[in-house]
């Protein structure tokens, strides 16, 4: 079931990640360092049942990303954003030995 609309067809041309990028990240002034904040805001929107993501169908009102595919849609962008924020600092060394 894609998003909040059980009758909505799946966009065969774009993955949930591509839909999220087009809907929330592909805007002027949004660089990789702002990705984590955008993902956090989208999580709040999903929780409040506000439409996130949309297909290429011009009649689509959105809502293709929900709690079932949120990780698939946003995970890579969150990590990219944290990496961009960390810059040259190797954040992986901070987590060695933590299980």
Q: For residue 1, is pLDDT > 50?
A: no
Query: Using one digit for the tens of pLDDT, what is the confidence trace for 28-46?
Result: 999 999 999 999 999 999 9
Q: For residue 47, is pLDDT > 60?
A: yes
CA distance 30 to 27: 6
Q: For residue 16, is pLDDT > 60?
A: yes
pLDDT at position 14 is 79
Query: Using one digit for the tens of pLDDT, what is the confidence trace for 78-87?
Result: 999 999 998 8
Q: Residues of the chain with pLDDT > 90: what percent?
A: 48
pLDDT at position 63 is 80
Sketch the domain layout of the chain as residue ranges: 16-95
User: Which segments of 4-99 are extended strands (E)?
Assistant: none
Query: Using one digit for the tens of pLDDT, what is the confidence trace for 5-14?
Result: 554 545 566 7
3-state SS, 36-50, equals HHHHHHHHHHHHCCC
Using CA atoms in the order 16, 20, 23, 24, what is the torsion angle rounded to 10 degrees? 170
Q: Note whether 76 and 36 are within 8 A (CB).
A: no
């Amino acid at each position: 079931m894609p998003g909040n609309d059980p009758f909505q067809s799946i966009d065969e041309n774009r993955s949930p990640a591509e839909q999220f990028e087009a809907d929330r990240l592909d805007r002027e002034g949004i660089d990789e360092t702002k990705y984590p904040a955008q993902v956090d805001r989208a999580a709040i929107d999903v929780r409040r049942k506000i439409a996130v993501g949309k297909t290429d169908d011009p009649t689509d009102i959105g809502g293709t990303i929900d709690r079932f595919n949120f990780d698939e849609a946003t995970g890579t962008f969150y990590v990219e954003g944290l990496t961009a924020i960390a810059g040259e600092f190797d954040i992986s060394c901070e987590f060695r030995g933590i299980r």
